[in-house]
Structure 1
Amino acid sequence: MKIRTLAAAAALACSGGALAQATVTLYGVVDTNVEYVNHVGAVPVASNQFNRGPANDVYRMNSGGISGSRWGMRGTEDLGGGLKGLFVLESGFNLDTGTMQQSNRLFGRQAFVGLQKDGIGQISLGRQYTSMFEALANFSPTAYATQYEPVVLQSGPNFRADNTIKYSGKFGPVTALAHWSFGTGLALPATVGIATPVGGNGEVPGQFRRDTAWGAAAAYQGGPFGVTFGYDQWNPTIGTSNGTVKKAVVGASYSYGPAKIMGGYRWGQNKNAADVVIQRDDFYWVGATYQVTPTIGLTLEYNYDDVKSLYGDTNVANPWQVAFVANYAFSKRTDLYLTTAYAKNAGLMLESLATVYANSLSLGNSYVLANGQSNMFGAAVGIRHKF
């Protein structure tokens, strides 16, 4: 729903300021489901002696199956001459428990303010999505479905970053993006293979590079064909110095009637503080969406990670996953869905040491393979309402 900022306009009038047309929109998504997952273990951290433990079947209620539950506000003000002021505040929460997500941040999904100029683009400052993550949104078949999409393996756990200045511009069929973070605010605990925590709060005095991140991307969408490419780099704290996490990506899509085919390739290389390669992989994905009727949609996605090296191990079994989503829309706002996935040589979302178990830590639900297991299956039925 939209709320005209009459109070703000009245305040400007009282102060003698020039009146400008302004709007604020309140929006959100509430999404919850009931899920079954097998072969589930624990996230290996210091408190459990880095032990994934025995396998368990899990039945649980989750928040966010095909969309993360959230509420937010976005606003614009026409400043004249094609210039606009803008802001976005977006809070992620767990619908099943009512608690906040994103490490208990009030506006953990997005929080930024900026200026937009017709024909030039937008500059924004705050907590924002990385350029590569935003560019890939229209090239991922499941559209970053929260429950089983291997987004951390694809884009990195730093796909949202604090302290970020970002440029975005749309020029006909081309979108250009670039960002710089003075400190991502992402911290992951020590786990198997990693002696110390990774990342931190950033903006460390005397260490300008530590916990910084940057990237750029571009996308073209002309008629039925689309293509994108991008680069992302994160320099996380490791001990008293920093390493580097680098990713480069290319993706493409093609629409034909009610069907759309998408796929892509992501190169990845991580180095420790001594500039030694600790992870090198090639990640691939392909899939399609098909709108059977105006109310029924189907999605199929396949992901494969070719692991060249992981903490010195060059014989890692390559993980892969297939996921399927069926969606029935009661209306434009409310839909019912079934989402399923099967993963081999990793947990669902391709969760493993290669992702530093960031999915499980963020969601609060483990998708870690238990000791002695090599595959995982999950299925969930849920309902989503958008407002």
Structure 2
Amino acid sequence: MRKFLFAAGACVVASSAMAQSSVTLYGIVDTGFIYNSNAGGERQYAMSSGNMSGNRWGMTGVEDLGGGISAVMRLEAGFSSINGTIGQNGTEFGRQAYVGLSSNTYGSVLLGRQYTTVYDFVGPFESGLAWAAAGAGFGAHPGDVDNLDGTNRANNLIKYQSPSYNGLQFGGMYSLGGRPGSVGTNQIWALAASYGIGPFKMAVGYQSTHNPNFSFFGNKANDSTTASNMRSPVYSGYATAGSQNIFAAGGSYVLGNATLSVVYSNTRFGSLGTQGVTGMTAAQNAYRGTAAFNSYEGNVKYQFTPSLSVGVSYAYTSNGGNNGSGGADYHQVNVGTDYLLSKRTDVYALVFYQKANGIDSTGRAATAALFGATASNSDRQTVALVGIRHRF
């Protein structure tokens, strides 16, 4: 009888524990076709992977620890649906990999590879993230220079995010550089806050990055430890920067079926010439001081029906130049529509246009370079995209 009672009690305890914890498998598969009007001087017709959303599979876990506190974890891997290769330049769980504690009263503290705080708070106001092919990056500000599209994650990250206090929320992060004897080398930190009331919402954030070519742009498995990891010509000439500082702010207002949003960002590559990077030209190695980018965007999304939405945006980005890069500016228009076939499957069509002027970071005539697409060899570029996305 004692054995029976012990076994029964063990089953009750096990059932209770299982009810208070869970692991969920999830993912997105997104594939389409693109037309590029100028891919290095040629028209391009190609299949494209991870367009509206980056392809991924992952696991989330939650365990109730009592007292309103839960242990949480996430492992999230990116991949190409065209050829099956691992995403994020060969990093197995390159999208996210973290563990931490979460509380409805005190907020959450997460440890590991994650998105940045400025992306979390300000990114949703940018059309590129909200509805214009966030996965492929075509709709991002040139080169995703302000990271509002979330191209770069941070390693070794400690991140805090508060609960909402009557519409006010705030957060911060610190990424340890990990260099023995030098606490500041490769470190990244950020602060951000948001406030929402009724149909209005706004957010503001600031991020400071040391040695961005290696700590922020080059923190994936197959990235270079000596050469430039900043591949967009919009800013690749500034790989020798000792710092990258991003200030971003955004706001939105819901008016009936329409959501109107505005975004501003200022990105500064500072202390140019202080970081040793192989493969740079003599002119680029001679850059000194700071190169600054200012991006301004206005966009609107209209929900015609619960299944059908349409969006349009205009963004202007300027670079003041630095010692040989005479300064460039970029005009970009995004137009897109999305239709839900079910709760988990949708089809989409988008068009992106960019016009470039001036001299870019490489010291050459600026060319249109929609992020995620093969760059143009002229000052103009159009990319059209259609595809299907399925969530599970």
TM-score of the aligned structures, taking structure 1 as reference length = 0.78
2:389 aligns with 384
Residue 265 of structure 1 aligns with an amino acid whose one-letter code is Y
Distance 1:36 1:18, change over 3 A: closer
2:153 aligns with 160
Distance 1:310 1:262, change over 3 A: farther
Q: Give runs of aligned pairs for residues 258-297 of structure 1, distance below 5 A.
A: 258-271=257-270, 272-274=272-274, 276-297=288-309
Q: Does 1:73 align with 2:59?
A: yes
For 1:317, what is the secondary structure of its paired residue? strand
Q: CA deviation at 1:20?
A: 7.1
Q: CA deviation at 1:208?
A: 2.3
Q: Does 1:369 align with 2:369?
A: no
For 1:58, what is the secondary structure of its paired residue? strand
Q: Does 1:113 align with 2:113?
A: no
Q: Does 1:303 align with 2:310?
A: no
Residue 323 of structure 1 aligns with an amino acid whose one-letter code is N
Cα distance in 2 for partners of 1:12, 1:114 equals 28
2:236 aligns with none
Distance 1:74 1:311, change over 3 A: farther
1:345 aligns with 356
Cα distance in 1 for partners of 2:308, 2:212 equals 46
For 2:155, what is the secondary structure of its paired residue? strand
1:150 aligns with 140
For 1:155, what is the secondary structure of its paired residue? coil
Residue 74 of structure 2 aligns with an amino acid whose one-letter code is V
Greater Rg, structure 1 or structure 2?
Answer: 2
For 2:267, what is the secondary structure of its paired residue? strand
1:169 aligns with 162
For 2:127, what is the secondary structure of its paired residue? coil
For 2:123, what is the secondary structure of its paired residue? helix
Per-residue CA shift, 1:293-343, capped at 9, x if unaligned? Answer: 1221101111111221245434x2311110111111111111111011000
Q: Which consecutive residues of structure 1, in runs of 5 or more, have no partner in the other structure?
A: 1-9, 42-54, 184-202, 355-359
Q: Give runs of aligned pairs for residues 47-196 of structure 1, distance below 5 A.
A: 55-143=41-129, 145-147=134-136, 148-150=138-140, 152-155=144-147, 159-172=152-165, 173-183=167-177
Does structure 2 retain, via aligned residues, the 8 Å contact 1:252–1:264? yes
Q: CA deviation at 1:352?
A: 7.4
Q: CA deviation at 1:18?
A: 7.3
Distance 1:246 1:294, change over 3 A: same
Cα distance in 2 for partners of 1:64, 1:311 equals 38
For 2:329, what is the secondary structure of its paired residue? coil
Residue 388 of structure 2 aligns with an amino acid whose one-letter code is I
Does structure 2 retain, via aligned residues, the 8 Å contact 1:20–1:78? no
Per-residue CA shift, 1:16-46, capped at 9, x if unaligned? Answer: x9777101121111111010102212xxxxx
Per-residue CA shift, 1:261-291, capped at 9, x if unaligned? Answer: 0011111211125494241121111101001
Select which of 318, 331, 335 maps to 1:324: 335
Q: Does 1:226 align with 2:201?
A: yes
Per-residue CA shift, 1:148-174, capped at 9, x if unaligned? Answer: 122522327874111101001122312
Distance 1:118 1:327, change over 3 A: closer
Distance 1:328 1:77, change over 3 A: same
Cα distance in 1 for partners of 2:318, 2:211 equals 24
Per-residue CA shift, 1:84-123, capped at 9, x if unaligned? Answer: 1000111111111111111211111111000112311110
Cα distance in 1 for partners of 2:47, 2:80 equals 10
Cα distance in 2 for partners of 1:338, 1:283 equals 25
Does structure 2 retain, via aligned residues, the 8 Å contact 1:20–1:77? no
Distance 1:278 1:252, change over 3 A: same
Cα distance in 1 for partners of 2:140, 2:104 equals 36
2:22 aligns with 23
Cα distance in 1 for partners of 2:81, 2:159 equals 30
Cα distance in 1 for partners of 2:18, 2:81 equals 39
Q: CA deviation at 1:142?
A: 4.0
2:222 aligns with none
Cα distance in 1 for partners of 2:176, 2:161 equals 18
For 1:378, what is the secondary structure of its paired residue? strand
What is the percentage of aligned positions where both structures have the same residue?
33
Q: Which consecutive residues of structure 2, in runs of 5 or more, have no partner in the other structure?
A: 1-9, 214-225, 228-239, 276-287, 364-368
Distance 1:280 1:122, change over 3 A: same
Does structure 2 retain, via aligned residues, the 8 Å contact 1:168–1:177? yes
1:205 aligns with 180
Distance 1:18 1:258, change over 3 A: closer
For 2:94, what is the secondary structure of its paired residue? coil
For 1:103, what is the secondary structure of its paired residue? helix
